[in-house]
Amino acid sequence: MSEKVISDYNGYDYKKIFWEDADREYEDQADRMAIRKLLPKRMEKFADIGGGYGRLANEYLKRAHKVYIFDYSKSELAQAKEMYGDKVETKAGDIYKLPFKDKELDGLMMIRVTHHLKYMDKAMAELYRVLKPGGVAVIEVANKRTLPKMARFITGRSKVNPFDKKVANYKDISANGFYNYHPKYVEEIFEKTGFKTEKVLSVSNFRSKSLKKIFRTDNLVKMEDKAQAALAPIRFAPSIYYKLRKPEE
């Protein structure tokens, strides 16, 4: 195992425990909605980076001629292969040393992965390397600057300052840490890496147990659809989605 690998999902049934047994239908639909808005309609080679068992595969299978699902967890990839067969090719490895050639991919996405990344800059450099000039990367970032985190900091219930650009490392969540990022911090990394930001969406805007009790999932999803673009400028949602493009040479 690389010393830089943050989370090892080998042997953990992420599909059942995190998604099927938990009340996360709204979050799943919010992710899918954002992906449909940001991914290109047609791609030759595409990779779902940190794609696990392929939860979101139905959002990109019809958009790409060749689909790869990359993950560190071989057990997750085995699930993906069982579910999708020859529709996908699975690749296991370290995100800081992706098993793709330079300029190999027309598109990629990385969803619900950044909270495991201690070295965001190195991961983004790898994504940039494997993309063709003109290629698109859809990246979801775990946001430290949410309204609940602001409230907890202001009232003294949390020492994590959501207003500064320092990476937040929540070690109480797991032994290896759980990272949240300030939007300006990651946007500076994108720019330094060479990416151009084409579109930003605010995602999972209503991620709240209280709201889930008050509103049905279908109503939350309708609200989410309108909020994703409207609330993007203030960057307050738990997940911020970026559509990035590697410039043409």
Strands 64-71 and 89-92: parallel
Q: Is residue 248 one of the residues assigned to a domain?
A: no
Q: Is residue 209 one of the residues assigned to a domain?
A: yes
Domain count within the chain: 1
Q: Is the pLDDT of residue 173 over 60?
A: no
Residues 174-210 have pLDDT tens digits of 555 689 999 999 999 999 999 999 999 999 999 888 8
Quote the mean pLDDT of the chain.
92
CATH number of the domain to which 227 belongs: 3.40.50.150
Report the distance separating Cα 200 and Cα 231, nearest Å. 10
- 3-state SS class at 102: coil
List alpha helices for 131-230, DSSP H: 147-154, 183-193, 209-214, 217-230
Q: Is residue 26 one of the residues assigned to a domain?
A: yes
Residue type for position 131: L
Strands 105-110 and 43-49: parallel
Q: Is residue 122 one of the residues assigned to a domain?
A: yes
| Cα angle 36-38-41, degrees, rounded to a multiple of 5 | 70
Question: What confidence score (pLDDT) does residue 3 get?
Answer: 46
Question: What confidence score (pLDDT) does residue 92 get?
Answer: 96
Q: Is residue 217 one of the residues assigned to a domain?
A: yes
Distances 41 to 30, 44, 76, 107, 145 between C-alpha atoms, Å? 19, 10, 26, 10, 31
Range of the domain at 217: 14-243
pTM (two decimals): 0.93
Q: Is residue 190 one of the residues assigned to a domain?
A: yes
The pLDDT > 90 percentage for the chain reads 78
Report the distance separating Cα 246 and Cα 135, nearest Å. 5
Buried b (16+ CB within 10 A) or exposed e, 47-85: bbbbbbbbbbbebbeebbeebbbbbbbebbbebbbeebe
Residues 27-62 have pLDDT tens digits of 999 999 999 999 999 999 999 999 999 999 999 999
Residue type for position 29: Q
Task: Give 245's strand partners.
Answer: 136, 196
Report the distance separating Cα 149 and Cα 238, nearest Å. 10
Q: What is the DSSP letter of 166?
A: S
Task: Give 142's strand partners.
Answer: 239
Q: Pick from 163, 173, 106: which is nearest to 136 by CA?
A: 106
The model's confidence at residue 20, banded by pLDDT at 50, 70 and 90, is: confident
Q: Is residue 7 one of the residues assigned to a domain?
A: no
Q: Which own/partner pairs from 160-169 qualify as long-range (CB within 8 Å, at least 24 positions apart)?
A: 167/120, 168/144
Within 10 angstroms of residue 187's Cβ, the number of other Cβ atoms is 19
Q: Is residue 229 one of the residues assigned to a domain?
A: yes
Residues 116-154 have pLDDT tens digits of 898 999 999 999 999 999 999 999 999 999 989 999 999
